[in-house]
Structure formats: C-alpha cells, structure tokens
C-alpha cells in the first residue's frame, strides 16, 4: 500500500504494536476532533470565576492538516483505506 508517496509498512509504522481496539478508539477520537475543529465547536480558551478568584484554561488547538494526517495514518495502520488501482488505458494499435 502506498501512503504519502512512499510505501506504507504497518510493521514499521509509528503505530506498530498497538492493539487494534486502541487504534480504533484513537481513530474515532481523531475523527471527532476533526469534526469539532472544522465546525468551530472546539474551545481553545475558557475562563470562569469561582469564589476564590478567576480561572483560565487554555488548550492547544490542533491544525486541521495535522488531524487529517493522523486520521490517514491510523486508517492505513488499520487497513481501512485502500488505494485504487491504476486506471486502465485502452490502446488502439
């Protein structure tokens, strides 16, 4: 299987050795993250006030291309994404 211009090898990828159920869960989480990021639903900074003062929490926002790359790598490791055959060419001789 080719991935990103080079041959993908599930035995030597960064995800090699991980249990399938863990990869499937990571894929579902990455896909959920992609949906939230692309729809603008992800909170990057949140501030709130309690009795003892104000609190602030900041999350690092992942970029969509990085999330897409992670999803593709996980799909390749799980064998979900198959690349299409080369198009057949008809030649008249």
pLDDT digits (tens, 9 = 90+) for 63-74: 788 888 889 999
Q: State the pLDDT at residue 85.
A: 59
Distance between CA atoms of 73 and 69, rounded to whole angstroms? 6
CA atoms within 13 A of residue 19's CA, in its CB half-sphere: 3
4-20 pLDDT per residue, tens: 555 678 888 888 888 99
Residue 44 per-residue DSSP state: S
Q: What's the average model confidence in pLDDT over 12-30?
A: 90
């Amino acid at each position: 299987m080719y991935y990103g211009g080079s041959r993908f090898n599930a035995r030597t990828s960064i995800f090699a050795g991980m249990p399938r159920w863990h990869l499937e869960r990571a894929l579902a989480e990455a896909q959920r993250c992609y949906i939230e990021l692309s729809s603008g639903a992800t909170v990057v900074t949140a501030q709130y006030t309690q009795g003892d003062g104000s609190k602030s929490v900041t999350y690092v926002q992942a970029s969509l291309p990085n999330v897409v790359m992670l999803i593709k790598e996980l799909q390749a490791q799980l064998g979900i994404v198959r690349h299409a055959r080369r198009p057949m060419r008809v030649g008249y001789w």
